[in-house]
Amino acid sequence: MLDVAPTELLLVAVVALVVIGPKDLPKAMRVAGKWIGRARGVARQFRSGIDTMIRESELEELQKQWAAENERIMREHPPEQALPQPYLSPEQQALNEQPGEPVLVEQPEIKDALATPVEAESSAAAPVSEPAPAPIALDKGVSLEDSIPPSILEPAQPAAEPEPDAPKAKAQS
């Protein structure tokens, strides 16, 4: 494009020094630098605008291809008919129709899967020290955290520290 050899650049610098003079040369160089910067900014903006337009046209083409492929697949494989609903007893239908009623969920019994048969029989025969937990009632739309009592959610209190005089008394006796 614009090929400027070092000797030509040196010749332009000498002519500028003679014509403009050493006093106004820095100001002229600043003005020239500003104009060159603006020209580069306009060129960069023009190039990014062209790139954006190309990218958008490519995306439109891809969307058209995807839509055509989707239509072809839907023609080849139509959606299946909805499966019939299973028969529900009147009690089950009543449960489904009453969204405000809480659903009771019992907690499952946990068995030790790694225990030997002898250990399993002895643990099954051993009396349970804690009563079985009550079923948890959850309303639809209520999270489990909302149904936990606040006493369980409170952090544990630190253990009381022993009095500092107690170790000294033991050491003296």
Q: What is the pLDDT of residues 10-35, one digit of tens each?
A: 898 888 889 988 899 899 999 999 99
Distance of CA 16 to the CA centre of its chain: 61
Asked if the structure places residue 69 within a domain, the reply is yes
Asked if the structure places residue 63 within a domain, the reply is yes
Asked if the structure places residue 41 within a domain, the reply is yes
What is the number of structural domains in the chain? Answer: 1
Q: Supply the mean pLDDT for the chain.
A: 75
Asked if the structure places residue 7 within a domain, the reply is no
- Supply the pTM of this predicted model: 0.35
Residue range 116-143: average pLDDT? 56
pLDDT at 108 over 60: yes
Asked if the structure places residue 101 within a domain, the reply is no
Structure tokens at 3: 């090929």
Asked if the structure places residue 168 within a domain, the reply is no
Helix, coil or strand: residue 173 = coil
| pLDDT classification of 68: cutoffs 50, 70, 90 | very high
Q: State the residue range of the domain holding 31.
A: 26-76
Asked if the structure places residue 81 within a domain, the reply is no
